[in-house]
Chain A
Amino acid sequence: MITTVTSLGRSGLSDWLIQRISAFVMTAYLFFIVGYLIANPELNYSQWAALNSSLPMRMFSLLTMLSIAAHAWIGMWCVLTDYITERLIGPKATAIRIFFQLGMIAVTMLYVIWAIDILWGI
């Protein structure tokens, strides 16, 4: 058993499950938005604003944003732990990897907070 402190779910199974569920939510959102745009070719601002200010749409958008954040965290964590290692770039790898991991987590969280601000500011 290998311990990890910067992965999202701390467990491989948890990360794997979150990755799949978040992918499903993002796909559903994509289909909905594209479908909505196709179904409403004459879309105007007031209609678009009304859609996005309704509570169910806000919840769906926020759920998608959280899914993107979780998906990106798990994916980026995998990339960083694959390529920023002592084996590949030398003894400073651990410090560089932690820097990028924490940076990636901070940026992800900031995006989520920003998204909440946008969604509830419409």
Chain B
Amino acid sequence: MLNVSIYRYNPEVDAEPYMQDYQVDTQGKDVMVLDVLEKLKTEDPSLSFRRSCREGVCGSDGLNISGKNGLACITPLSSAVKGNKLVIRPLPGLPVIRDLVIDMSQFYAQYEKIQPYMINNSPAPAIERLQSPEERAKLDGLYECILCACCSTACPSFWWNPEKFIGPSGLLQAYRFLADSRDTATEERLANLDDPFSVFRCHGIMNCVQVCPKGLNPTKAIGHIRNMLIRSAT
């Protein structure tokens, strides 16, 4: 039997959060953490968590699993269980709505700030704006972000200043548009980032890289943004 400890908090009933212990029979199978949560949900319907695609694409089930942020649906028990114990908490740093469900408004507010859409005011061509294979290749490692918030909620700079520091996820997306040959708002985008908080609160500790379930590298993208700022300002 696997010992599972889960963060529980229902603000309508509980005065404060607590950890609830469960025992789950996984029949020795190396299932995903989400499978364990689903099984527990059938036994205790009051347990709340987000999930959708169950294959690491939608980004709904970002959780703190045995101390490390990750997606429950693609984290096998073999990589999460320590000493026959699995500890599941909500992603740290953002307000908890209930149990494992967090309020991601602050995260999305930072995402909105970087204008995550193509800006190009030149007349649209008849079919599409073309890119060379080399220009398109620059977007690899950037466009794959699924906004699960595992990286930003693993970042102390984002914990301390979530309303000022854009965070690794938002900055990865910022660079995704800065690097896009079809976008024409590069200067405007860079001007919005040159303050002591938006980009430069990143101290390069690389927690984001360590936890990203898609294997992306926000620290590298932040370095590229910094280099673009240096090129344009010196």
Which residues on A are within 8 Å of B, measured CB to CB?
Answer: 1-4, 7, 10-13, 15-17, 77-78, 81-83, 85, 87-88
Give the shortest distance, in Å, between B199 (CB) and chain A (any CB). Answer: 6
**Nearest chain B residue, comparing its CB with the CB of A11:** B194
Note all chain B residues with C-beta closer than 8 A to A13.
194, 200, 226, 229-230, 233
| Contact A88–B160 (Cβ < 8 Å) | yes
Give the distance to chain A from B234, nearest Cβ to Cβ, in Å. Answer: 8
Tell me the complex Cα distance, A67–B161, Å.
Answer: 27
B49 at the interface (CB under 8 A from A): no
- From 194 to 212 in chain B, residues with beta carbon under 8 angstroms from any chain A beta carbon are 194-201
Chain A residue contacts of B198, Cβ below 8 A: 1-2, 12
Which 5 pairs of residues, A with B, have the shortest CB-CB distance?
Answer: A12-B200, A82-B160, A12-B196, A2-B195, A2-B197
Contact B194 A82 (CB under 8 A): no
Report chain B residues within 8 Å CB of A11: 194-196, 233
Residues in A whose Cβ lies below 8 Å from that of B196: 2, 4, 7, 10-12, 15, 77-78, 81
Q: Which of A1, A78, A82 contacts B195 (CB 8 A)?
A: A1
Smallest beta-carbon distance A5→chain B, Å:
11
Check A87–B200 contact: CB distance below 8 A: no
Which B residue sits closest to A88, measured CB to CB? B160
B68 contacts A by Cβ under 8 Å: no
Residue of A nearest to B201 (CB): A78
Q: Mask for B171-200, Cβ within 8 A of A = 1, else 0?
A: 000000000000000000001111111111
Alpha-carbon gap, A16 to B225, bound state (A): 13
Q: Which chain B residues (100-144) contact chain A, with CB distance < 8 Å?
A: none
CA distance A12 to B198 in the complex (A): 8
Q: With a CB–CB cut-off of 8 A, which chain A residues contact B157?
A: 82
Nearest chain-A residue to B160 (Cβ)?
A82
Q: How far is the CB of B155 from chain A (nearest CB, A)?
A: 12
Question: Which of these, B160, B194, B201, contacts A1 with CB under 8 Å?
Answer: B194
A81 and B195 contact, CB distance less than 8 A: no
| Shortest distance from the beta carbon of B34 to any chain A beta carbon, whole Å | 31
Q: What 0/1 readout, one digit per residue, does chain B (12-46) give for beta carbons within 8 Å of chain A?
A: 00000000000000000000000000000000000
How many whole Å from B106's CB to the nearest CB in chain A?
A: 11
Residues of B within 8 A of A81 (CB): 161, 196-197
A13 to B228, CA, bound (A): 11
Q: List 10 A-B contacts (CB under 8 A).
A: A2-B197, A3-B195, A4-B195, A4-B196, A11-B196, A13-B194, A13-B200, A17-B230, A81-B196, A82-B157
Cβ-defined contact, B161 with A85, below 8 A: yes
Q: Shortest beta-carbon distance, B203 to chain A, in Å?
A: 8
Pick the residue among B160, B191, B197, B226 that contacts A16 (CB under 8 A).
Answer: B226
Contacts of A10 in B (CB 8 A): 196
A77 to B201, CA, bound (A): 11
